[in-house]
Structure 1
Amino acid sequence: MTHAKLTQPSSSFHASWLESYDEWGTLDQDGSAAFLAARYDLNLREGGHFSQWVDLLHQMPRAEFSPPEGLANQTTIWVTDGVAYLGAASLRHSLANEYLKEVGGHIGYGIRPSARGNGLAKLALNGALQEGRSLGMERVLVTCKQPNRASARTIEACGGVLEAIRPPASFAPALGVTEPICRYWFTL
């Protein structure tokens, strides 16, 4: 993994992204914005739909792009090594809804299971933080579930300052929180 780098989403990673999808076993992959495929009725196993999703990821950061209701404009970056897709990070440009304000935060990131433990989460998170700086953001919120010590260590190693660990009962029931949430802030 010594040649891992941050890249823009590209259709050329379709085969490797599908391998990653099979490892995760779900579209719920932190940082990947794969959930958008469902919003737009795209089957990411099909090359044409995958290309449409990649194009959507390129449109999402643009100020003139209006994301679906309840979502924020966001920048998605991928962690790759050669032709291998290893993970992603997404920087939401604002906390556009109650879920993001309370639970989701500005940045989500995730590394495919077979590539974990190689410092790639730090690379992804630092890339998203750098993107925030380039956009002029002053503070960003990054969260993780309390049991996810690996994510907490990554956030802390990148300079996140713990605001609080909030129990599930402190969130509105509609947010669906079932585990304590660690809330960290970064000053950019």
Structure 2
Amino acid sequence: MPVLIPPTADVHASYLRAMDEHIAEGRGEPGDGSNVGQYIRQFGPVWSARPEFERFVGSLRAQELEDTPRPATYVPTTSLWWVDGDEYLGRLGIRHRLAPGGMGERNGHIGYDVRPSARRKGHATAMLAAALPFAAALGLPQVLITCDDTNDASRRTIERNGGVLHDKLDEKLRYWILTSPS
């Protein structure tokens, strides 16, 4: 049964296969601003070497800390990986607060990706549900989650987890979800 865990080098081989799937669908190209796209561009050339992958994992885990250096528009973020044994299925990031400069209003508190071969199997919905207690433990009573208005799968994932539509900002639908039952 899949679980959310902190990033770990234990899923190295499976993670690389998942990134190959993402690359095959065009992720990592210069215009791809997603987390996965950024990881591919920054670490993809080196992470096949185990020490470099361990460095990548360490960099993700360091982003949880308030004093870790980061660009001004980034905030502390807890990264979690959705894994089944040693099989990497997806990733999720919980921003500890909304990013400044309007980015937070567009990106929200939680972002997630499921590897292409694991999609349409309920993983995104289960992963988001499993993340809500982590968000509550970070002191977030509710989280803002956004998706493109054309992304029906993500919209359904958010709504299945209790997301209440707040509004539409440009092409983004913005939802609020309570992190613990009321």
Structure 1 match to 2:134: 131
- CA drift of 1:69 comes to 2.8
**CA 125–11 in structure 1, closer or farther in 2 if over 3 Å, else same:** same
Structure 1 match to 2:46: 43
- CA drift of 1:183 comes to 0.5
**CA 129–60 in structure 1, closer or farther in 2 if over 3 Å, else same:** same
- CA drift of 1:182 comes to 0.6
Task: Tell me the C-alpha RMSD between the 2 structures.
Answer: 2.3
Whether contact under 8 Å (2:4, 2:131) holds in the other structure is no
TM-score by length of 2: 0.84
1:133-148 alignment, distance < 5 Å? 133-148=136-151
1:105-116 alignment, distance < 5 Å? 105-116=108-119
* 1:9 and 2:7 matched: yes
Unaligned 5+ runs, structure 2:
none
Structure 1 match to 2:168: 165
**CA 37–115 in structure 1, closer or farther in 2 if over 3 Å, else same:** closer
Structure 2 match to 1:149: 152
- Return 110-119 or 91-100, whichever deviates more: 91-100
**CA 16–6 in structure 1, closer or farther in 2 if over 3 Å, else same:** same
Q: 2:55 aligns with which of 43, 52, 56?
A: 52
Unaligned 5+ runs, structure 1:
168-179
Q: Between the two proteins, what is the percent identity of the paired residues?
A: 35
Whether contact under 8 Å (1:29, 1:110) holds in the other structure is no
- CA drift of 1:61 comes to 1.1
Q: 2:90 aligns with which of 87, 90, 98?
A: 87
- CA drift of 1:184 comes to 0.5
Structure 2 match to 1:21: 19
Where 2:126 maps in the other structure, the secondary structure is helix
Whether contact under 8 Å (1:31, 1:107) holds in the other structure is no
**CA 64–13 in structure 1, closer or farther in 2 if over 3 Å, else same:** same
- CA drift of 1:92 comes to 0.6
Whether contact under 8 Å (2:2, 2:84) holds in the other structure is yes
Between the two proteins, the alignment pairs up a number of residues equal to 173
**CA 130–112 in structure 1, closer or farther in 2 if over 3 Å, else same:** same
* 1:187 and 2:145 matched: no
**CA 85–144 in structure 1, closer or farther in 2 if over 3 Å, else same:** same
Return the alpha-carbon distance in structure 2 between the equivalents of residues 29 and 116 of structure 1: 20
- CA drift of 1:186 comes to 1.6
**CA 125–69 in structure 1, closer or farther in 2 if over 3 Å, else same:** same
Where 1:98 maps in the other structure, the secondary structure is coil
Structure 1 match to 2:76: 73
1:98-109 alignment, distance < 5 Å? 98-109=101-112
Return the alpha-carbon distance in structure 1 between the equivalents of residues 95 and 45 of structure 2: 21
Return the alpha-carbon distance in structure 1 between the equivalents of residues 75 and 113 of structure 2: 19
Structure 1 match to 2:64: 61
